[in-house]
Amino acid sequence: MTETQDILIYDTTLRDGTQGEGISFSAQDKILLARRMDAFGFDYIEGGWPGSNPRDMQFFELAAREHFSHAKLAAFGSTRRANKTVDEDPQIAQLLAANTPVITIFGKTWILHVEEVLHTTQEENLMMIYDSVHHLHSYGKEVIYDAEHFFDGYEDNPEYALRTLEAAQKGGADFVVLCDTNGGTQVQRLMEVVQEVERFLDCPVGVHCHNDCGLGVALSVAGVQAGARMVQGTVNGYGERVGNANLTSIIPNLHFKLGYTVACQQNLQDLRSFSLDVDKLANITSSKKEPFIGASAFAHKGGVHANAARKVAHSYEHMRPESIGNQQRILLSDMSGGSSIALKAKPLGMDLDEKSPAMRSFLTRIKALENKGYEFENADASFYVLLQQHFNGMEDPFELVSYRTISEVVRDGNTNISEAVVKLRIEDNPEIRMTISESSGPVGALDQAMRKAFSAHFPALKKVNLLDYKVRILQTGLSTDSTVQVLMKSGDGLSTWWTCGADSSIIEASYQALCDSFRFYLLGGQHLGKSDD
């Protein structure tokens, strides 16, 4: 195997991926994704099944006006129906009407499906495959034949399974793709079968794997090592049941680990942002645990790990995270050591001595707070405030005198009204400033009341808005005495940041997180936040 071997990447997110639970794209969404996939460097984009639903019909109408600089757009469908001619099958006509350069059709390989699902004969199934491929090929289309349930069919009757591939090849298929549709094939067996098919066919072979045994990526990579030149999959592993083979793992494994050439390799530094963009359009929360591109993929929590990663990154990282658009992250917890704190503080503009007495006392403090329920690994703004307080002696420019919240439910109007009263002493002014505010919830009322109290002295805080709010119960079994952890996202229109609080009272935990958000902004920390996209 050499680096000159080109592997074609065939994306089926817009068709197979939408069969996943909770995944849905509008026709315009699919156009936006197709543009992104083309720019990223995918070789084939499967757009959908023309005629199967109005959305896919609209997509192909819109796609006809698009110009793709690299990718080839594919329409997807099936072989002709049993006991009908190709000319009589409206589905075949719709595939041609989609006006795509590539048409991908699937056919039956497993005798069980031929006889029990299609209710036809083995010979008729072979003719269905041949006729369909030959007909589409005669129109000058590049034809990719997906052998559905191939590995199950091969185990049942290898001779017949190979005959179905032969029928596609004789019809003029440009690629024959072996599909592990049920996702149950094991890695070694898949490699053996792919090698057998490679010896049997003259046309190039591809693989299409599902993740039902958690092996979708491993099977796809093994298929390439066994001789396949095309890999089908979806971005982020979307797909029916537990999903298809995940291209965001397959591609970096093929290129970085095995040295294969893929057309998108010059864009792999954008792989993480690409993955996040697709999740965003799908309205799916991105998985932190995703290999390569997940937020946790290069995160270090233990003090020993963080210390070693700081000194020699590859001692605890299998590759440079920047190669796929990710970054090293140092997480903070009660397992953190001085090296973790110093490494985490550096991008926040603070150079700390990990062996100083101040560091030792800070470790004691942060571990005590973590034990109470604070979570600093996902609340960088609260961590920054804590650093400033401990190492730079930062003091609040305000003093909380008291606050209270009252909630009222108006049954007739079916509405909730919450009122918050806040009393603050600002800086050295002995005068107590009292503000009152109402909102639909107590946290919103508290936020608005605090903002009013601050506004006269700190007008810049008018730009700060509460954007997201998460609550987590940390100690189960304690009923209403459980510790509540609050994570709060704030922003000023240009950047965003997270703060945290913890207490047995959800209002007090929220107050702590709100105060940290204001402290962070007043310290000028907003330039350290994330870009507000």
Query: Minimum mean pLDDT among 123-127, 470-474, 501-505: which range?
Result: 470-474
pLDDT at 2: 41
Q: Which pLDDT does position 3 carry in this prediction? A: 45
CB 316 within 8 A of CB 309: yes
DSSP 487-512: EEEEE-SSEEEEEEEEESSHHHHHHH
CATH 3.30.160.270-classified regions of the chain: 398-531
The arithmetic mean of pLDDT across residues 117-144, rounded, is: 96
3-class secondary structure, 374: coil
What gap in Å lies between CA 506 and CA 405, rounded to an integer?
Answer: 11
- Above 80 in pLDDT, residue 359? yes
- What mean pLDDT do residues 357-364 have? 89
Which residues face 424 on adjacent strands?
400, 433
Q: Does the structure show a pLDDT above 60 at 480? A: no
Q: Using one digit for the tens of pLDDT, what is the confidence trace for 324-333? A: 998 877 776 5
Joined together, the tokens standing for residue 297 give 């993929």
Per-residue pLDDT tens digits for 307-317: 565 555 666 78
Mean pLDDT estimate for the chain: 89
Determine the 3-state secondary structure of 336 from DSSP.
coil
Lookup result for tokens 């099944």: 49
Answer with the residue of higher pLDDT: 317 or 500: 500
Band of residue 219 on the pLDDT scale cut at 50, 70, 90:
very high
Q: How large is the angle between the packed helices 506-522 and 380-391, nearest 10 degrees?
A: 70
Structure confidence at residue 81 (pLDDT): 93
Residue range 86-117, pLDDT digits in tens: 999 999 999 999 999 999 999 999 999 999 99
Q: What angle do CA 527, 529, 533 make, to 5 degrees?
A: 105
Are 298 and 328 a contacting pair, CB within 8 Å? Answer: yes
What pLDDT score does 183 carry? 95
Query: Nearest to residue 234, comparing CAs of 250, 221, 214, 252?
Result: 250
Which class would CATH give 8-282?
Answer: alpha beta
* pLDDT greater than 80 at residue 340: no
Query: Can you give the pLDDT at residue 372?
Result: 87
The answer to whether the CB of 16 falls within 8 A of the CB of 244 is yes
Neighbours of 466 (CB within 10 A): 18
* β-pairing verdict for 175-180 and 205-209: parallel
pLDDT band at 306 (very low <50, low <70, confident <90, very high): low
H/E stretch holding 76 reads strand 72-78
* Distance in angstroms (rounded) separating the CA atoms of residues 215 and 187: 8
Q: pLDDT of 175-216, one tens digit each?
A: 999 999 999 999 999 999 999 999 999 999 999 999 999 999
**Residue 423 corresponds to which tokens in the numbers above?**
């009393």
What is the percent of the chain with per-residue pLDDT over 70, rounded to a whole number?
Answer: 92
**Side chain identity, residue 472:** R
Average pLDDT over residues 204-233: 97
Instruction: Express as a percent the part of the chain with pLDDT over 90.
Output: 60
The rounded Cα 157 to chain-centroid distance in angstroms is 39
* CA–CA dist 440, 460 (Å, integer): 25
For the chain, the straight-line distance linking the first and the last C-alpha, in angstroms and rounded, comes to: 42
Kindly provide the b/e burial profile for residues 126-146, where b requires at least 16 CB atoms within 10 angstroms of the residue's own CB: bbbbbbbbbbbbeeebbbbbb
Distance CA 114, CA 125 (A): 7
Lowest mean pLDDT among 6-15, 174-183, 345-354, 356-365: 345-354
Q: Tell me the pLDDT tens digit for each residue of 272-297.
A: 999 999 998 888 888 889 999 998 88
Q: Pick 398-531's CATH classification: 3.30.450.20, 3.40.630.30, 3.30.160.270, 3.30.460.10.
A: 3.30.160.270
Distance (Å, rounded) from C-alpha 490 to C-alpha 498? 6
Examine the pLDDT at 166 and tell me if it is beyond 80. Answer: yes
* 533, pLDDT greater than 80: no
**pLDDT-derived band of residue 526, with 50, 70 and 90 as boundaries?**
confident
pLDDT at 288: 87
What's the mean pLDDT in 451-455? 82
* Listed residue (235, 258, 262) closest to 246, CA to CA: 235
Residue 207's identity, in one-letter code, is: V
414-423 pLDDT, tens digit per residue, is: 678 889 998 8
User: According to CATH, where is 3.20.20.70 located in the chain?
Assistant: 8-282
Which pLDDT belongs to residue 307? 57
Q: Sorting pLDDT into bands at 50, 70 and 90, what band is 303?
A: low
**Counts for the chain of helices (H) and strands (E), in that order:** 17, 17
